[in-house]
Amino acid sequence: MIDSMKTISIVVPCYNEEATIRLFYETILSLWQEQTLAEDYTPEFVFVDDGSKDETGIIIRALSETDDRVRFTAFSRNFGKEAAIFCGLKQATGDAVIVMDADLQHPPAIIPDMLEKWKQGYEIVEGVKSDRGREKRSYHLFSRLFYSLISRMTGFDMAGSSDYKLLGRRAVDALNQLPERATFFRALSYWIGFKSASVRYKVAERSAGKSKWTGRSLFAYAIENLTSFTYAPLRIIGLVGILILCIGIGLGIDAIISYCRGQSVGGYPSLIILLTLATGGILLSLGIIAIYIAKMYTELKNRPRYIIDEQK
Ligand code: UDP
Ligand code: MG
Q: What whole-number distance in Å separates Cα of residue 192 and Cα of residue 33? A: 33
Alpha carbon of 258 to ligand 2 centroid (Å): 62
| pLDDT on residue 134 | 65
Alpha carbon of 211 to ligand 2 centroid (Å): 5
Question: Is the CB of residue 154 below 6 angstroms from any atom belonging to ligand 1?
Answer: no
| pLDDT on residue 258 | 82
| pLDDT on residue 121 | 94
Indicate the top mutation candidate among 55, 212, 225, 305 to test ligand 1's pocket, ranked by most ligand atoms within 8 A of CB: 212
Q: What whole-number distance in Å separates Cα of residue 52 and Cα of residue 49? A: 6
Q: Helix H segments across the chain?
A: 21-34, 56-66, 81-91, 111-119, 137-154, 169-176, 185-191, 215-229, 232-260, 267-301
Q: Strand, helix or coil at 138?
A: helix
**Ligand 1: nearest atom to the Cα of 80:** 8
Q: What whole-number distance in Å separates Cα of residue 15 and Cα of residue 35? A: 29
Alpha carbon of 192 to ligand 1 centroid (Å): 24
Cβ-contact 262, 268 below 8 angstroms: no
β-bridge partners, 129: 201
Alpha carbon of 251 to ligand 2 centroid (Å): 52
Q: How far is residue 277 from each of residues 109, 218, 265, 282, 306, measured CA to CA in Å? A: 54, 29, 19, 9, 42
Instruction: Compute mean pLDDT per 10 residues along the chain, 312 residues long, and list them.
Output: 80 94 94 83 95 94 93 94 95 96 92 94 92 70 80 77 94 93 87 90 82 79 81 80 80 82 74 78 84 86 90 84
Q: What is the CATH number of domain 6-228?
A: 3.90.550.10
Nearest CA to ligand 1 atom 8: 80
Question: Is the CB of residue 102 below 6 angstroms from any atom belonging to ligand 1?
Answer: yes
Alpha carbon of 205 to ligand 2 centroid (Å): 8
165: number of Cβ within 10 Å: 26
| pLDDT on residue 186 | 87
Cβ-contact 123, 168 below 8 angstroms: yes
Cβ-contact 183, 229 below 8 angstroms: no
Q: How far is residue 53 from each of residues 13, 74, 230, measured CA to CA in Å? A: 14, 11, 34
